């Protein structure tokens, strides 16, 4: 396992941020999802060694998070969410500088900075001052500084924020390339679920400081519940109420489509029986391909 | 195949644990300072007193040749502890040190706060003290360039121009006083600058604060001294305290009739408070937001 956490607790004063987090993250890219206040940032802070958990233990790439923080930081690359730069520096000096701070010899860091900048698509702009970069270029330079020392594990915090669709696609392709072919493990914290779905094979969903779900995205989508979409004619409110009484979770879209999350015990015919009882005509009924949004909404209990 | 199409490649080297992890921070800070507008001019100007005092050392050994210029004021060209004290406590030198701090030091932490780069530093194997030492190194480089280097140079020039070790035998404590006073000035001004730089995210605000605190402390002294006529108010002034301590280190009586130890304690307290706040401030932002 690349990341293993056991019973991690952390509080900001009286506020519990993490409440007994147990995690096992293996190979490949993993998404870190959760609503605001779920504890994602706190978890990343603990993984990077910025914060010391109140209780619990953990290992990253075999290193103890409590005692081997420096070793961990050498093996980990971190791309923060905020724009980060040092004014007056061009991209190549900036990237080489952080390579050097990671422990690379000076000349090696400079050579490597050139390579990495070409890789992230900033090769032609590498001698430009970073403060003159566009939002998309700033995202790329952050990725470059995270990659410069060739980390084994990459933490990406909202890697596609502030990007236009084209830039977003390109950055996602880079992340996918890194995680799928370059034996670098990636942990992506993002609010954009489609980004996670595109780049990651695994996901950890945090809610209220606890792990609400974790595992392979495909498996999670199939095992936990069934999702059906239907269009009906009749008294919608009464029908929805009856479905909820039967243990279903129901969402109504703006187009009048009902998304019904079936609990594990309830069979498909149960829906029809409820519809018949309530004099409801079902005009459209399809088993939905569950998306990560559905999984997220189901797990966290938000739309 | 063009390099852009080669894709990601692993780096075959090994990361090393640096003995001086702060050194890259200092190197970059010095390099960036030289890129600042007017910096080279101000640095050159700040070294002007060193040049003049060096010439003074030369003239002091050739006093006969320059009699026509000196016209009976040869006491100003006697190289002794008072000569060194005059350099180290001169208003102009201290003012130029503040100028250098404004240009090279104001943004050292403020820029990192403004541009969120602290989290990049602390995602590396860097301790808080490495970061602060690196930033302090930038200031130390320039401040020692204005103090330690000229001080030792005067001493060496005196020995070279006199052609004997008589001066050393006469004043063996001067090199040590030069080193200690340079360190006092550097450590105090370094912590003072980093402390104020950590208080804001705006370099201009920090620059103004660096000036105002230094200038106003002296103005307050002047005002209170004007009203009460008591030299003890010199303890309010950063400049006066540095001059008092500098004079004492060179074994010369200070400009104000106040025990120099009070000034030393005030400077130590200010530096200690600055270091304490700095450590807390840097800890406070050492997070991912």
Confidence at residue A146, expressed as pLDDT on a 0 to 100 scale: 95
Overall average pLDDT of the B18-26 stretch: 93
Q: Which residue of B has its CA nearest to A72?
A: B125
d(CA A139, CA A133): 10
pLDDT of residue A303 exceeding 70, the answer is no
Domain presence at residue B3: no
Overall average pLDDT of the B124-130 stretch: 92
Domain presence at residue B2: no
Domain presence at residue B59: yes
Asked if B131 and B122 count as a contact pair (C-beta separation under 8 A), the reply is yes
pLDDT of residue A56 exceeding 70, the answer is yes
- pLDDT of B175-223, one tens digit each? 999 999 999 999 999 999 999 999 989 999 999 999 999 999 999 999 9
Q: Does A73 touch chain B (CB under 8 A)?
A: yes
Is residue B287 very low, low, confident or very high in pLDDT (cuts 50, 70, 90)? very low
Domain presence at residue B274: yes
Q: How many residues are given for chain A?
A: 303
Query: Higher-confidence residue: A179 or B133?
Result: B133
Confidence at residue B283, expressed as pLDDT on a 0 to 100 scale: 63
Q: Does A90 touch chain B (CB under 8 A)?
A: no
pLDDT of residue B94 exceeding 90, the answer is yes
Contacts of A115 in chain B (CB under 8 A): 3, 9
Domain presence at residue B128: yes
Confidence at residue B159, expressed as pLDDT on a 0 to 100 scale: 94
Confidence at residue A287, expressed as pLDDT on a 0 to 100 scale: 81
- pLDDT of A72-96, one tens digit each? 999 999 998 888 899 999 999 999 9
pLDDT of residue B101 exceeding 50, the answer is yes
Structural domain boundaries enclosing B147: 19-64+72-284
CB-nearest to A84 from B8, B15, B117 is B117
Domain presence at residue B11: no
Confidence at residue A165, expressed as pLDDT on a 0 to 100 scale: 87
Is residue B3 very low, low, confident or very high in pLDDT (cuts 50, 70, 90)? very low
Confidence at residue B84, expressed as pLDDT on a 0 to 100 scale: 95
Domain presence at residue B153: yes
Confidence at residue B4, expressed as pLDDT on a 0 to 100 scale: 45
Confidence at residue B289, expressed as pLDDT on a 0 to 100 scale: 40
In angstroms, the separation between the Cα of residue B106 and the nearest Cα of chain A is: 13
Q: Which residue of A has its CA nearest to B131?
A: A101
pLDDT of residue A243 exceeding 60, the answer is yes
d(CA A189, CA B170): 70
Confidence at residue B223, expressed as pLDDT on a 0 to 100 scale: 95
Confidence at residue A301, expressed as pLDDT on a 0 to 100 scale: 62
Overall average pLDDT of the B261-275 stretch: 96
Give the residue among A24, A25, A23, A17 at the shortest CA–CA distance from A54. A17
- How much is the pTM? 0.84
Confidence at residue A163, expressed as pLDDT on a 0 to 100 scale: 84
Confidence at residue A52, expressed as pLDDT on a 0 to 100 scale: 87
Contacts of A104 in chain B (CB under 8 A): 11, 13, 15-16
Is residue A288 very low, low, confident or very high in pLDDT (cuts 50, 70, 90)? confident
What φ, ψ does residue A166 adopt, rounded to 5°? -65, -45
Q: Does A10 touch chain B (CB under 8 A)?
A: no
Domain count, chain B: 1
- pLDDT of B52-92, one tens digit each? 999 999 988 887 777 666 666 656 678 899 999 999 999 99
Highest mean pLDDT among A298-302, B1-5, B113-117, B193-197: B193-197
Asked if B123 and A76 count as a contact pair (C-beta separation under 8 A), the reply is yes
Confidence at residue A1, expressed as pLDDT on a 0 to 100 scale: 64
Confidence at residue A183, expressed as pLDDT on a 0 to 100 scale: 78
d(CA A104, CA A145): 12
- pLDDT of B139-180, one tens digit each? 999 999 999 999 999 999 999 998 889 999 999 999 999 999
List Cβ neighbours of B275 (8 Å cut-off, separation of 6 or more).
Answer: B191, B195
- pLDDT of A135-179, one tens digit each? 889 999 999 999 999 999 999 988 988 788 888 888 898 898 888
Overall average pLDDT of the B222-235 stretch: 93
Is residue A221 very low, low, confident or very high in pLDDT (cuts 50, 70, 90)? low
Domain presence at residue B7: no
Confidence at residue A289, expressed as pLDDT on a 0 to 100 scale: 66
Asked if B148 and B182 count as a contact pair (C-beta separation under 8 A), the reply is yes
Confidence at residue A162, expressed as pLDDT on a 0 to 100 scale: 78
In angstroms, the separation between the Cα of residue A78 and the nearest Cα of chain B is: 7
Asked if A20 and A210 count as a contact pair (C-beta separation under 8 A), the reply is yes
d(CA B61, CA B221): 39
Domains observed in chain A: 3-220 (3.40.50.300), 224-300 (3.30.70.100)
Overall average pLDDT of the A31-43 stretch: 85
Contacts of A89 in chain B (CB under 8 A): 28, 32
Contacts of B4 in chain A (CB under 8 A): 118-119, 121, 123
Average pLDDT, chain A: 87
Confidence at residue A213, expressed as pLDDT on a 0 to 100 scale: 84
Q: Does A125 touch chain B (CB under 8 A)?
A: no
Overall average pLDDT of the B13-26 stretch: 92
Q: Percentage of chain B with pLDDT > 90?
A: 77
In angstroms, the separation between the Cα of residue B10 and the nearest Cα of chain A is: 6
């Amino acid at each position: 396992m690349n990341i293993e956490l056991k019973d991690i607790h952390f509080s900001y004063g009286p506020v519990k941020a993490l409440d007994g987090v147990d995690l096992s993250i293996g190979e490949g890219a993993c998404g870190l999802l959760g609503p605001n206040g779920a504890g994602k940032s706190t978890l990343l802070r603990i993984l990077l060694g910025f914060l010391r958990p109140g209780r619990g233990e953990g290992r990253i790439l075999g290193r103890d998070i409590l005692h081997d923080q420096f070793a961990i930081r050498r093996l980990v690359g971190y791309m923060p969410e905020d724009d980060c730069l040092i004014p007056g520096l061009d991209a190549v000096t900036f990237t080489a500088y952080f390579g050097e701070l990671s422990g690379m010899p000076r000349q090696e860091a400079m050579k490597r900075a050139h390579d990495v900048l070409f890789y992230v698509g900033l090769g032609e702009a590498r001698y430009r001052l970073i403060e003159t970069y566009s939002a998309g270029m700033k995202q790329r330079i952050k990725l470059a500084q995270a990659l410069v020392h060739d980390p084994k594990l990459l933490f990406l915090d909202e890697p596609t924020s502030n990007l236009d669709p084209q830039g977003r696609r390109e950055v996602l392709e880079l992340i996918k390339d890194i995680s799928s072919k370059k034996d670098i493990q990636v942990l992506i914290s993002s609010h954009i679920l489609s980004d996670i779905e595109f780049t990651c094979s695994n996901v950890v969903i945090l809610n209220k400081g606890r792990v609400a779900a974790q595992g392979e995205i495909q498996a999670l989508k199939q095992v936990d519940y069934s999702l059906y979409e239907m269009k009906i004619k009749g008294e919608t409110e009464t029908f929805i109420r009856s479905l909820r009484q039967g243990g279903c979770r129901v969402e109504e879209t703006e187009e009048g489509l009902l998304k019904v999350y079936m609990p594990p015990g309830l069979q498909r015919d149960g829906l029809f029986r409820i519809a018949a009882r309530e004099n409801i005509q079902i005009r459209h009924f399809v088993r939905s391909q569950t998306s990560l949004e559905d999984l997220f909404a189901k797990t966290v209990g938000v739309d | 195949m063009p390099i852009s199409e080669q894709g990601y490649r692993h780096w075959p080297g090994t990361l090393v644990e640096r003995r001086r992890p702060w050194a890259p921070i200092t190197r970059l800070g010095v390099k960036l300072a030289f890129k600042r507008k007017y910096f080279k001019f101000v640095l050159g100007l700040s070294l002007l007193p060193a040049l003049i005092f060096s010439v003074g050392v030369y003239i002091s050994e050739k006093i006969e040749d320059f009699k026509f210029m000196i016209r009976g004021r040869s006491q100003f060209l006697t190289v002794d502890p008072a000569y060194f004290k005059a350099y180290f406590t001169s208003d102009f030198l201290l003012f130029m040190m503040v100028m250098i701090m404004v240009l090279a030091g104001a943004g050292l932490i403020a820029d990192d706060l403004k541009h969120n780069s602290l989290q990049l530093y602390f995602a590396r194997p860097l301790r808080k003290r490495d970061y602060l030492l690196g930033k302090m190194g930038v200031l130390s480089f320039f401040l020692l360039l204005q103090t330690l280097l000229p001080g030792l140079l005067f001493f060496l020039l005196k020995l070279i121009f006199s052609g004997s070790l008589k001066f050393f035998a006469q004043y063996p404590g001067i090199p040590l006083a030069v080193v200690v006073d340079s360190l006092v000035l550097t450590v105090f001004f370094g912590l003072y600058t980093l402390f104020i730089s950590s208080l804001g995210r705006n370099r201009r605000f920090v620059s103004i604060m660096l000036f105002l605190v230094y200038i106003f402390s002296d103005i307050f002294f002047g005002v209170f001294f004007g009203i009460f006529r008591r030299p003890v108010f010199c303890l309010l002034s950063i400049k006066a305290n540095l001059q008092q301590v500098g004079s004492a280190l060179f074994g010369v009586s200070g400009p104000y009739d106040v025990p120099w130890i009070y000034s030393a304690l005030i400077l130590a307290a200010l530096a200690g408070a600055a270091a304490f706040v700095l450590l807390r401030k840097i800890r406070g932002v050492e997070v991912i937001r």
